[in-house]
Structure formats: structure tokens, C-alpha cells
Amino acid sequence: MNRSEILSILSDWNFWTKDQPTGIKRHHYIVRLENLLGTGQVVVISGVRRSGKSFLMRQVIQALMSKGVPKNQILMVNFDDPRFATLDTAALEQLFQTYMESLQPSDTPYIFLDEIQEVTGWEKWVRMMHELRKAKIVISGSNARLLSGELATLLTGRHMDLNVFPLSFEEFLEFNNMSTQNLDEITLVSRMTRIRALLYDYLEFGGFPEVTLTDQKKPLLLSYYDDILNRDLIRRFHLRRPESLKAIGKFCMSNVASQMTFRSLGRFAQATGNTAEKFSSYLESAYLLFFLKRFSFAVREQEKSPRKVYSIDIGLSNAVGFRFSQNVGRVAENVVFLTLRRHAASNPNLELFYWKDAMQHEVDFVVKDGLKVRELIQVSWNVSDPRTRQREINALVRAMKELGVNEALVVTEDEDKTEEFDKSKIKFAPLWKWLLKYERG
């Protein structure tokens, strides 16, 4: 590519001559990204495709400019742009030199490289730029595998990570023109009717930013799913017969919050257990699915037990897999998982598990902080049936005794109270209230 072509493409992505769309601000991520930039390390933004990584980059660029950083000191490149014919380290260097010669920044530039996994050999170029202090670098990608192995080898001790998820419930409310910032509990309760109505929208359509803002929700979700499968998995891993991958993906999307083994997945997809395990890891690497292990102090027991599967976005599962109205309990459990997982992503000491004993008593979530179990959480949408209620309580009481925990939580549709059982406390909380409280830390 010649210099004129490169500048034409770069001008389309940057603020040099025109404003760029920045969308609705996601303040939590903006603050964290600005703090990570201050460490002097390469910042790695990762997350599922369409979760808002590109808009977050623009929002931080806008924040930098508002603090006095000149426009010509900031470069953003989106490698999903089809006008880039060849993407390798030579192309990266050519882009950078063209920018430096044309914009002539007076200080060390900020470089934002979006969807970096499209560039062959990017890791060595990024390391070189970082070590020579030629730029302050932020990179993003939609594949955990590409942003882990290479980084672990070439950028050890030189990078900081930021995981971006689809909207939390609090962000979802803000995208629907309902801010909950600085509101006390009395005010929140007074708005409960509106909040609960939006909660059901959230449970049905999930939290992808663009999906939240459009009327064409299901077609857009289906296009996202196909895009992730084809671009981030089938093409990336050169799968010649992708039928098994697609079958496993749809089965998992249709059975969120369910236990499964790789052997059972393989039988469903007419593949071996090893193939099912490999394809499951592919789906996880694209941030599409999560596989939750059973809690055990023995690592071997964790590895051989069935895993529970959860989706990155419940709207995606509802579009691809099952009908929301018939599975609201599983949908709610998936939303609770994502809230816990989002919190764990910024707290490296936190680990998530499910718990199950030999008598088949089960607790949905064990939150472990370092060596200590911090929380036990059960999700039961309707506990009005005495048998259901007793089953959930029995499981929590057994888990509390085994793990040395004095309090536990049941997340429900609308019950809000605390009860004591055998010197232990079990709180019952409505999902909407728990989400807002937990997301605020």
C-alpha cells in the first residue's frame, strides 16, 4: 500500500480531522483502562466480539484529548478493515512510519490496535515498540488463545489485562435512559416496577450494546453468533468439517446452567470425547462459553467431575438455543454467573465453582477468595413451593457446614428476607436488587 492509501484508511478511524462515534460511555471500564495506561505497560483489552471494545478505545481516546493530549499524538487502527490487504509486522511498521511522518507527534504517541489477532506476528512488533518506548500501546482481540500463549511468552511482565463483557444490568439500565447512580435504596424501590420490566428485557435479549439499542434484536444476535463461529473459530482454526463444532455450540447454548461431560458432548455431536473437549476449548477461547468446575480441594476431583456450562450473553442463548419463557430459572442463573465472572475478571484472587456432595445436594456458586470460601449462592426463581424451598435450603446448609461458611444467599424473582437455619443465616434477595448491589461492589 502506498502512503496516500494508508493515510486515507487511518483518517477514517481517527479524530484527526473529524469526530468519531463514541457511543454511550461505560464509565467503569474507562476508569480502569485509564489507570492501566498509567502503569506504562502494554494494555490488552479482550472479550467477545461486539462487546464494545472498539467503542471503549474511542471513549478513552476522547478522555485523553479532554485532558490535553493532542489529536495527532493518538493513533487508532482497526484491523477488521477489509482495505488492509496484507497484515503482518512489515505492514504494522509501514502504518506506524506513515503516521509518524505525516502527523509528526511532538511526544510519545498512544497507539490503539483493534482486533490485533488479524495481524500475523504482531506480538514481536508490539514487544519491540514497548521495549524501545516508541509508543504507549493498547491492543484488543476477540480470541483468548491468541492473547494468552503469545503474550505469556513474549510479553511476560510487560502487559496488563482488561476483560470487557456485554453490558451489566446497571449498564443496561443506563443504556435505557435509567441511571441508578447515587440513588439510595428507598428511591430504587420506588422505581421497582420500571426496573423489573427492564430486567425481563435483559433476561430475554441480554446485554450486547448494539442489540440493546436496536429493535431488530434476534436477527442481530443470530448474525453475531454466526460471525463468532465463522470468523473467530472455523476460519481461525482451519476446521474443514465444522459440523461437530456447530453441534456442540448449539447444544451448550440450549442447555446453559446444566452439567455435562466432554464424553456426553461428544456423543451428542457424533465425535470423540477428546474432540468435544478440544472444540469446547475453542468455544471458550472465543469468549462464547464458560465451563464451570465442581468445587473440590482435590484438583483431580475437579477435573474429572462434570462441568456446568454458561453463555457469554443470555440473549445469544435465547436466540440460538431455547425459549426464554420456558427456562427463566436457567436464564437467571446464567445472569448471576456472568455478574460473578465479571467481578472475578478484575479480582485475580477470586475463583468460581459449583458445589455438589455425594447425596446430590447442589449449590450453584461457590465464590472462593484466595484460600477461603467467601460466598455460597443459590439461584431459585420461584421458592413458593415448600419442597423446592426445602431442597435449596438443605443444599446450602450442608455446603455451609462443609465449607465453614455462616451465611448464604438465595437469588429469587421477588422474595426479600433473611431466615436462620441451625445457627446459620440464609438471605433471600430479588434478582434485580442483588444485581445492582453486587455490581456496585
Question: Which residue is it, cell 477488521?
Answer: 80
Cell numbers representing residue 286 in the block: 472465543
Instruction: Please give the span between the terminal C-alpha atoms of the chain, in angstroms, as a whole number.
Output: 49
Burial of residue 191 (CB within 10 Å: 0-12, 13-18, 19+) is middle
Contact 54/78 with Cβ under 8 angstroms?
A: yes
Predicted pLDDT at 327: 86
Give the model confidence (pLDDT) of 334-343 as tens digits: 999 999 999 9
What is the chain's pLDDT, residue by residue, as a tens digit (441 residues)? 899 999 999 999 999 999 999 999 999 999 999 999 999 999 999 999 999 999 999 999 999 999 999 999 999 999 999 999 899 999 999 999 999 999 999 999 999 999 998 898 898 899 999 999 999 999 998 877 665 655 556 677 788 899 999 999 999 999 999 987 777 777 777 888 899 999 999 999 999 999 999 999 999 999 999 999 999 999 989 998 899 999 999 999 999 999 999 999 999 999 999 999 999 999 999 999 999 999 998 888 888 999 999 999 999 999 998 676 678 999 999 999 999 999 999 898 999 999 999 999 999 999 999 999 999 999 999 999 999 999 999 999 999 999 999 999 999 999 999 999 878 899 999 999 999 999 876
Grid cell digits, residue 356 = 455438589
Query: Rounded to whole angstroms, how far apart are CA atoms 49 and 144?
Result: 11
**At 256, which amino acid appears?**
V
User: For the chain, what are the domain ranges?
Assistant: 3-164, 171-439
Contacts (Cβ under 8 Å, ≥6 apart) of 111: 75, 76, 77, 96, 129, 135, 136, 137, 138
* Reported pTM: 0.94
What is the side-by-side order of every strand in the sheet holding 289-292? 258-260, 307-311, 289-292
Answer CATH for 3-164 from 3.40.50.1950, 3.20.20.140, 3.30.1600.10, 3.40.50.300? 3.40.50.300
Determine the residue type at 142. Answer: S
Distance CA(306)–CA(258), nearest Å, equals: 9
* Maximum distance among all Cα pairs of the chain, rounded to whole angstroms: 75
pLDDT of the residue at 76:
98
Handedness of CA 156, 160, 165, 169 (dihedral sign): positive
pLDDT more than 90, % of the chain: 82
Query: How many other β-carbons are positioned within 10 Å of the β-carbon of residue 90?
Result: 12
**Tens digit of each residue's pLDDT (9 = 90 or more) over 416-438:** 999 998 788 999 999 999 999 99
**Beta carbons of 390 and 419 less than 8 angstroms apart:** no
Residues in the chain: 441
pLDDT value for 147:
59
